Amino acid sequence: MRFPFVSVKKEENNMIKDTIAAIATAMSSSGIGIVRMSGPDSFEIIDKIFNPKKVGKKLSNEKGYSLHYGFIKDGEDLIDEVLVLAMRGPHSYTAEDTIEIDCHGGVYVVKKILETVIKYGARVADPGEFTKRAFLNGRIDLSQAEAVIDVINAKNEMALKSSLSQLKGSVHTKIVSLREDILYEIAFIESALDDPEHISLDEYPDTLLPKVQKINQDLKKLLASCDNGKFLKEGIQTVIVGKPNAGKSSLMNVLVGEERAIVTDIAGTTRDIIEEHISLNGVSLNIIDTAGIRNTDDIVENIGVSKAKDYAEKADLILYVVDGTKEMDEADEEIWPILENKKVIILLNKSDLDNILTKEQLEEKFEFPVISISAKEETGITILEDTLKEMFFQGELSFNDEIYITNMRHKEAIKNAYDSMQLVEGSILDGMPEDFFSIDLMNAYKALGIVIGEEIEDDLANEIFSKFCMGK
C-alpha cells in the first residue's frame, strides 16, 4: 500500500501525563458545587485530601462508579462536607480516572476545594480540556466533541434535539460509513496497481461508477441539510419591515411576549434597531424591528430607514407588515425592491378593523405567502409559525433518521469531499486512468476525516476546544 495514515489523536494522546482539575459548575452561590479532576493521579490526590466517614477507607482501593461521603481537608484544616464520585478509566467522560467532588455551592468553598486539589498535584484545566481529552482518548470524535458545546448553547428544543443527535453519533456514523466505502475503493485500486498479475482493473470503472454516484448523493444530501442546520443552531435572521404605523413594533411585542418596542400613533416612532431572540414553536428567530421605511427629511429617522434597508439585505427572512386599513402608497413602493430574491412573509395587519386591502389583492400582486393578522388582538400568529416551518423546514423537523449539519467547519469539509468525488465521477466518465481515481478518492477520504477529527491540525483542535467553558 502506498498511502500512510497518521493518527494525530494517538500522537497527542501519548503526551497526556498530568492530572487536570476545574470547577464544573457556575461561579455563583448555589445548592451544590462540583470540582472535577481527571488524569492518572486523580485517585492519589483524592486520597491525600479526602477523609471518608469510614475510617481507613482509601478511594484508590474502591471500584469505579462508587459514591463516598466524607470531608475535604487540607492537612488538619477542614474545608467542607462532601460527596465524592469515583470513576475509573476508560469508563468515564474523559476515558481517564476521574474524580468529582460534590460540595456546598458557595463561591468561596468551591474555589477553596479547587485550590486544595491543585496544591496536592493537579493543575488547572484549560477551557474545554476535559472534552478534548475525551476526544484524544478516542471516547468521542471531534463532531461529537463540538456537539457538547452546541448542547450547552442550544437556544430552543429543535437545536437541542439536533445537538443531542450529533452527540449520540449521528454525524460520526454517517461519515465513518462513507469513509469506509471510499477507503475500500482506494485499497482495491492501489492493490491492483501494485499487483496487476493477480488483481485486474478490467471493467472496474463500470463497477466503481454507481458506487461513486451513491456517495455523491449522500454527500449532496448532507450539504442540503446545512441551511436547516444553520437555522436550527443560530436561528433565522429575521427583519420586520413596513411603512410607518403599519404595526411592526406591535408585532415585535407580540412575538417577544412583552412591551419591548414603543408603540404610538405617531409615524416614525421607531428610529433605532431593536433586536430580540425568540422561539416560535421550536423555531428560533433572531428578529429585528426596524424604522418605518419612507422618504423623510428627518435626519435621525432617515438613518434608521437606511439601517432598516441594510439589515433587510442581509436577512434570511423578511416579515413585511402591511396596514390593511390603508391603500398601498409610495412608502410601500420603497419597500418592494427590498423583497426581491428574498424569503418573505407578508403580514396583513389590523384584521380586527375594517380593511381596505384584502388578502386576495396582496396574493395577486405578490408571490409570497400572505397571512391576515392582528397584532393588537394577537391573532394569526399560529399560522405564521406553521408558515415559517413550511418555508424553512418543509413542514417538519425529524430527528429519527435525518442528519442536520450545523457546523460550518463540517460543511466546508463535506463540500471539499463532494468536489473530489465529483472529480472521480468525471474521470470515470472521461475514461481516465485509475491513478486519477485514487488521488481524488484519497482527497475525499481526508476531507471527511476532518469532520470527525481523524485529519486535523493541532492548532485547529486547540482553537475548537478553547471556545468551551472551564470545567468542560
Per-residue confidence (pLDDT) for residue 200, from 0 to 100: 82
CA 278 – CA 289 distance, rounded (Å): 13
Beta bridge partners of 347: 321, 371
Q: In the CATH hierarchy, which top-level class contains the domain 8-140?
A: alpha beta
Per-residue confidence (pLDDT) for residue 259, from 0 to 100: 56
Per-residue confidence (pLDDT) for residue 440, from 0 to 100: 94
Query: Sheet holding 274-280: strands in order across?
Result: 274-280, 283-289, 236-241, 317-323, 344-349, 370-372
Domain boundaries, the chain: 8-140, 149-231+407-452, 235-393
What is the full per-residue pLDDT of the chain (472 aa) written as tens digits?
344 333 444 445 545 689 999 999 988 888 899 999 999 999 999 999 999 988 888 998 988 889 999 999 999 899 999 999 999 999 999 999 999 999 999 999 999 999 999 999 999 999 999 999 999 999 999 999 888 888 888 777 777 777 888 888 889 999 999 999 999 999 999 888 888 888 888 888 999 999 999 999 999 999 988 877 777 777 888 888 888 878 888 888 888 775 554 443 434 444 456 788 887 776 788 888 876 554 454 555 555 566 767 788 888 899 999 888 888 888 888 888 888 888 999 999 888 888 888 889 999 989 999 999 888 888 888 898 888 888 877 655 555 557 888 888 999 999 999 999 999 999 999 988 888 888 999 999 999 999 998 877 777 777 888 877 777 7
Number of helices followed by number of strands (H, E) in the chain = 16, 13
Per-residue confidence (pLDDT) for residue 412, from 0 to 100: 93
CA 270 – CA 266 distance, rounded (Å): 10
Superfamily of domain 235-393: P-loop containing nucleotide triphosphate hydrolases (3.40.50.300)
Spell out the residues 6+ positions from residue 2 whose beta carbon is closer than 8 angstroms to its own.
Answer: 190, 194
Q: How far is CA 289 from the centre of its chain?
A: 25
192-196's contacts with Cβ under 8 Å and 24+ in sequence apart are: 192/434, 193/434, 193/435, 193/438, 194/1, 194/2
Per-residue confidence (pLDDT) for residue 234, from 0 to 100: 76
Per-residue confidence (pLDDT) for residue 258, from 0 to 100: 57
User: Are the C-beta atoms of residues 357 and 327 closer than 8 Å to each other?
Assistant: yes
- Cis check: omega of the bond before 90, within 30 degrees of 0: yes
CA 193 – CA 187 distance, rounded (Å): 10
User: Are the C-beta atoms of residues 471 and 131 closer than 8 Å to each other?
Assistant: no
Q: What is the CA radius of gyration of the chain?
A: 29
Query: Sheet holding 98-105: strands in order across?
Result: 50-52, 66-74, 77-87, 98-105, 30-38, 20-23, 123-124
Using DSSP, state whether 429 is helix, strand or coil. Answer: helix
- The CATH architecture of the domain made up of 149-231+407-452 is Up-down Bundle (1.20)
DSSP 8-state code for residue 338: G
